[in-house]
């Protein structure tokens, strides 16, 4: 979608598109209302600024829009191919790695009350497992911050994909 088209669509449609980049209704509404957007970089800067103003509830809402890392069936059912591209290395992972990812994700969810969020693009399943295991040592507050930072990377990539397609 071209930036001019993004600026000119109905605010509800713009919110819907933004929700596909970050599943946080307050963020999408706030960002959608911050038009006109002068460039893709302007969208990303405004998106980041809006994200910095989100509450814990907003951040957790965004997390709830993600599949669990390594859950290939859930990814395909929920999202089709897009997140599968982000987690494409998971398809190539060994069964043992996938089992450990599943178990560690369950442990993470139980400990923190939300799923493990990581910018998966370009990371192997083994790398994500290593990150997951190391982050299990953190406090809930630290993990909320880590997840929010990863969420920003995720929606930045998705916004670029949305707006750079001619």
- Residue 39 scores a pLDDT above 90: yes
Average pLDDT rounded to a whole number, residues 27-52:
97
The pLDDT value recorded for residue 121 is: 92
By the 8 A CB rule, do 90 and 125 touch? yes
Going from the N-terminus, what domains does the chain have, and what CATH number goes with each? 3-60 (1.10.3330.10), 70-164 (1.10.3330.10)
pLDDT score of 38 more than 70: yes
| pLDDT (tens digit per residue) in 50-104 | 999 999 999 999 999 998 887 656 544 433 444 445 454 455 567 888 889 989 9
Which residue numbers are catalytic? 66
CA separation, residue 65 to residues 35, 42, 142 (Å): 24, 24, 20
Per-residue pLDDT, 30: 97
pLDDT digits (tens, 9 = 90+) for 109-158: 999 999 999 999 999 889 999 999 999 999 999 999 999 999 999 999 99
- The angle formed by the CA atoms of residues 91, 72 and 136, to the nearest 5 degrees, is 95
Q: What is the pLDDT of residue 69?
A: 80
């Amino acid at each position: 979608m071209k930036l001019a088209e993004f600026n000119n669509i109905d605010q509800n449609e713009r919110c819907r598109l933004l929700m596909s980049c970050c599943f946080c209704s307050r963020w999408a509404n706030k960002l959608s209302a911050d038009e006109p957007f002068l460039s893709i970089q302007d969208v990303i800067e405004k998106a980041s600024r809006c994200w910095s103003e989100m509450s814990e509830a907003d951040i957790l809402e965004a997390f709830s829009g993600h599949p669990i890392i390594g859950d290939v069936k859930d990814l395909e059912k929920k999202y089709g191919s897009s997140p599968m591209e982000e987690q494409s290395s998971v398809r190539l992972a060994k069964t043992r790695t996938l089992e450990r990812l599943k178990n560690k994700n369950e442990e993470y969810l139980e400990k923190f009350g939300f799923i493990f969020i990581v910018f998966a693009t370009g990371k192997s399943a083994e790398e994500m497992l290593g990150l997951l295991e190391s982050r299990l040592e953190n406090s809930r507050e630290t993990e909320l911050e880590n997840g929010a930072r990863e969420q920003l990377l995720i929606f930045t990539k998705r916004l670029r994909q949305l707006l750079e397609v001619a």
